[in-house]
Structure 1
Amino acid sequence: FIDKNGNIGSTDATSLLGLYNAAYLRTHGEKILDIAMSSTKKILKSIVNHLDPTIADEIRHHLETPLFRGTNRVETKRYISTYEKNSTRNETILEFAKLDYNLVQGLYCDELKDLTIWWNGFDIQTHLTWARDRMVEIHFWMMGVLFEPHYSYPRVVLTKLFTLVSVFDDFYDNYSTTEESNMFTTAINRWDEHAVEHAPAYMRPFYKGTVASINQIEEDLKLQKNKHAELVKKLFIDAANCYHAEVKWRDQKYVPANLEEHLKISAPSTICMQISNIAFLLMGDITSSETIQWAWAYPTIIRAVCIIARVMNDIVSHEREQASEHMVSTVQTCMNENGCTVEEANEKLNEVVEQAWMDICESCIQPTAHPLAVLSRVANLARVTDFLYKHDDGYTLGYSVKGTLDSVYVHPMDV
């Protein structure tokens, strides 16, 4: 690819795209891959409008989302459609791929049906009208982490847990007073039917439903002989405490001195550690107690996905959240630290995201006591988070990802 002068010598679009995608597996200090990535990106952008429409569409897609960072089920359907246009396609393989996709899509829809029945029991549209009601988006998020058909039960449990956590997020971040957040946190940490009296009155039905649901999940896991069953509740309580910590910083008017300090305190409230760790324990015997404790300590790969989530969320929601009282964002902190504009801060923050992706790649390829099947869940979480926050807050503003959700859940492939 590279000539004696260090320039990319190839002009073949398919080869250039392959090198471009491979370069995104770079780790820290891999200068050759840094050059390959920037050079191939520049060349591909310059030739894309002069290519056959099929390869041109492929290049445009990967210029936006490199192959390694794609969300599995989104990429699966897109690739099947691309393969179908290939004149050398194998019709039998194509048919089986479509049938498989449709069967898995049906499974996801069955899960959503059961989840919707469960969630309707909370009746939040009556009791908690301020909370985001995003069942499909959360299932998509958790499906991004555990997409395989045999992980149906873990996927359902993750979706239940983080549908509840989403209400926590809205309660602590947007709705509760300081006193109410203190009361609710006290009740969550006590975790029993008598503690409901410590919660604000309007949160008591939700508190009771939450405790009952998680206690039931714990009992189900014990029946499955899952040795980590009791940790689900502890991780869930930890999520509430992370949100409550941000309320205290907000009320103290705490302003981090720099971006590094900000991320040290704000990354945990992305709840990516809890999502990853609960995904690990739901995978069963493949996950050891050592892996759970390792993840709880925010090792490099967990911290990396937390940073990706925090920074990308802040970039797309910065303007909207200026209208309400929030803890200072990473965008504001970066602007203050560097004396720069929003656009310049976003550029610097995008580089922080790139560094975090390198941490993920490095963690996945280095020898470790933790199986790749487990580590890949963290990479999957980064992938689906990247998708949801790439252009907008796809979770809060669900219409921005509606086309993809329709494709994944509603529209089967023609067979």
Structure 2
Amino acid sequence: MAICSAAATAPATQSAAEQDCRRQYAPSVWGDFFISYEPCTTEELLSMQEKARALKEEVRRIVLAASNDDDLVRKLELVDALQRLGVDYHFKKEIDDLLLAVYGDEDGGSNDLYVASLRFYLLRKHGYTVSSDVFLKFRDEQGHISSDDVGTLTTLYDAAHMRVHGEDILDNIIAFNKSRLQSLLMKANLDPALLEEVRVTLETTRFRRVERVEARRFISVYEKKAMRDDTILEFAKLDYNIVQVVYGNELKELTIWWKDLRSRVDLTFSRDRLVEMHFCMMGIVYEPYYSYARIMLTKQVLFLVLLDDIYDNYSSTEESNMFTSALERWDEKAAEQIPEYLRPFFTNVIRCTDKVIGELKLQNNKHAEVVKEMALHVTKSYHAEVTWRDEHYVPADVDEHLQISLGSVTAMQVVVLTFVSLGDVTSREAIDWALTYPKIVRGVTVIARIMNDIMSHEREQASDHMTSTVQTCMKQYGVTVEEAIEKLKVTS
């Protein structure tokens, strides 16, 4: 949240144009690009789809053959490759059956550290309860677990990040091998491909990578492997291009919608983040058959971002009070309570949200009204931050800060909206449970809040802004900005 002093004292009737102290944002570099963008012709798309259908069945036969094979390494590397190439969603049942058989092998798979690490990683990723004790037999005399083989070392490091609290053996693997991986970056004679894998592993461990970004990267990596399967590689390339067409069509629809909204509402107070928000939603649900979910989520999260900027950058405290009260009524007539320059945005928030609710109801979605609930929920959090901002209040510790700021980072709301967008996959009880910030939701939200504050700390503190978790951590421990950021990174 941020607001300049001139706006804070401005009369409620002041026009947006007169508030020359607002932040100025550069226009989106994308503009109307996706309205006319055509990655391929209709004939080319149909040809790709036809080839992909045939190759898909060939890959399915490869997976089934591997399932009946006794070669554990082949099974594990096949599943890993399909996931990293971004085509595993086509073979969910086959992969589940294969991993169930692997899990049934109580031997732990192998006395080979690479195999044990990959098995542990894949099974944990798919929700199987696998004990970290499988690594005990690999400890050296000092109690460390490591390898001189780069592929084994990166796989071990990725596997250890599947840890839960209290798994000291995995904590030690990460701590000991992080410096080893970092030292490899300094080796001039390391193969460039291995060097890149080490760099990527240190930057973002495997299970935290965005699937589509990893797919694009790993297609190029897999293509250079001597042991690649050319059928799988060709299918992965085709599938990637076909899915990109789906994303492009979604962005075309969204750009037209966004352009229409901007013609009716002055949105110069806000960042133009349409493509960015679609990319974020694609990171949550990437499969092509969730097209409606991505479009709906992009629209709703964009409105949450716009609401944030209304409170943060476009209204005085008095105006934010009026805006919150009016929105809680959820009635276009309530626009009469707020300044004229805010009314177009206010009415369009209600109209666009109600339209989404109507679409969901036509799909027989039992939780359509939750969309409105999430908008109101986050608005209350934004409004609470205004009070902290105006009082220049610095919470005593990070935990106190999170009591309010968890709601305003919108992570919980996006979790709930995602489940609603996917159709009949959740219950009202589950939604109410998520609203209580259970550990799994709180964990995601804490990470989102802290990462957001670290990235925006310098920019936001240049103006009158609510105290961030970075500043709170500095006060709590009496440390510098840099030291506070490091502490927060460990916390998250």
Q: Provide TM-score, normalisation by structure 2.
A: 0.70
In structure 2, the CA distance between the partners of 1:176 and 1:342, relative to structure 1 (3 Å rule), is: same
The letter of the residue matching 1:46 is S
Instruction: Report the CA distance between 1:200 and its aligned residue.
Output: 2.2
Contact 2:160 2:174 in 1 (8 A): yes
CA distance in 2, matches of 1:138, 1:87: 38
CA distance in 2, matches of 1:23, 1:9: 11
Where does residue 15 of structure 1 map in the other structure? 152
Give the unaligned 5+ runs of structure 2.
Answer: 1-137
State the number of aligned residues. 353
In structure 2, the CA distance between the partners of 1:294 and 1:116, relative to structure 1 (3 Å rule), is: same
Where does residue 270 of structure 1 map in the other structure? 409
Instruction: Report the CA distance between 1:174 and its aligned residue.
Output: 2.0
* 1:95 maps onto 2:234 in alignment: yes
CA distance in 2, matches of 1:230, 1:66: 37
The letter of the residue matching 1:51 is L
Instruction: Report the CA distance between 1:10 and its aligned residue.
Output: 2.2
Q: How does 1:8-407 map to 2 (within 5 A)?
A: 8-48=145-185, 49=187, 50-123=189-262, 127-353=266-492
Structure of higher CA gyration radius: 2
Contact 1:218 1:229 in 2 (8 A): yes
Contact 2:293 2:422 in 1 (8 A): yes
Where does residue 360 of structure 1 map in the other structure? none
Contact 1:71 1:144 in 2 (8 A): yes
Instruction: Report the CA distance between 1:216 and its aligned residue.
Output: 1.1
Give the unaligned 5+ runs of structure 1.
Answer: 354-415
In structure 2, the CA distance between the partners of 1:124 and 1:186, relative to structure 1 (3 Å rule), is: farther
SS in 2 for 1:33: helix
SS in 2 for 1:286: coil
Where does residue 4 of structure 1 map in the other structure? 141
Where does residue 62 of structure 2 map in the other structure? none
Contact 2:193 2:221 in 1 (8 A): yes
Contact 1:273 1:302 in 2 (8 A): yes
Instruction: Report the CA distance between 1:140 and its aligned residue.
Output: 0.6
The letter of the residue matching 2:174 is M
Contact 1:122 1:206 in 2 (8 A): no
Where does residue 50 of structure 2 map in the other structure? none
Residues 313-359 of structure 1, C-alpha deviations (whole Å, 9 max, x = no match): 11122111121111111111111111111111111111111xxxxxx
The letter of the residue matching 2:468 is S
Instruction: Report the CA distance between 1:254 and its aligned residue.
Output: 2.2
The letter of the residue matching 1:230 is E
In structure 2, the CA distance between the partners of 1:9 and 1:71, relative to structure 1 (3 Å rule), is: closer
Moved more, 3-12 or 33-42: 3-12
Instruction: Report the CA distance between 1:298 and its aligned residue.
Output: 0.9
CA distance in 2, matches of 1:163, 1:202: 20
Where does residue 82 of structure 2 map in the other structure? none
Contact 1:124 1:131 in 2 (8 A): no
Residues 124-158 of structure 1, C-alpha deviations (whole Å, 9 max, x = no match): 79723121111000101111111111111011000
CA distance in 1, matches of 2:263, 2:224: 46
Contact 2:184 2:198 in 1 (8 A): no
Residues 57-99 of structure 1, C-alpha deviations (whole Å, 9 max, x = no match): 0111110100011111111111111101112211111111011
Instruction: Report the CA distance between 1:235 and its aligned residue.
Output: 1.2
Instruction: Report the CA distance between 1:186 and its aligned residue.
Output: 1.4
Contact 1:246 1:266 in 2 (8 A): yes
The letter of the residue matching 1:26 is R
CA distance in 1, matches of 2:286, 2:146: 39
CA distance in 2, matches of 1:115, 1:9: 48
- Percent identity of paired positions between Structure 1 and Structure 2: 54
CA distance in 2, matches of 1:233, 1:46: 51
CA distance in 2, matches of 1:56, 1:124: 49
Where does residue 73 of structure 2 map in the other structure? none
CA distance in 1, matches of 2:461, 2:303: 26
SS in 1 for 2:424: helix
Residues 151-194 of structure 1, C-alpha deviations (whole Å, 9 max, x = no match): 11011000001111111111111221001111111121111121
Residues 214-272 of structure 1, C-alpha deviations (whole Å, 9 max, x = no match): 11111111111111111111111111111111112212332211111111221111011
SS in 2 for 1:256: coil
Moved more, 7-16 or 148-157: 7-16
Q: Which has the higher helix share?
A: 1
The letter of the residue matching 1:22 is A
CA distance in 1, matches of 2:158, 2:452: 24
In structure 2, the CA distance between the partners of 1:248 and 1:9, relative to structure 1 (3 Å rule), is: closer
CA distance in 2, matches of 1:296, 1:200: 32
Q: Provide TM-score, normalisation by structure 1.
A: 0.83
The letter of the residue matching 1:13 is V
In structure 2, the CA distance between the partners of 1:21 and 1:125, relative to structure 1 (3 Å rule), is: farther
CA distance in 2, matches of 1:262, 1:127: 32
CA root-mean-square deviation: 1.4
CA distance in 2, matches of 1:163, 1:266: 19
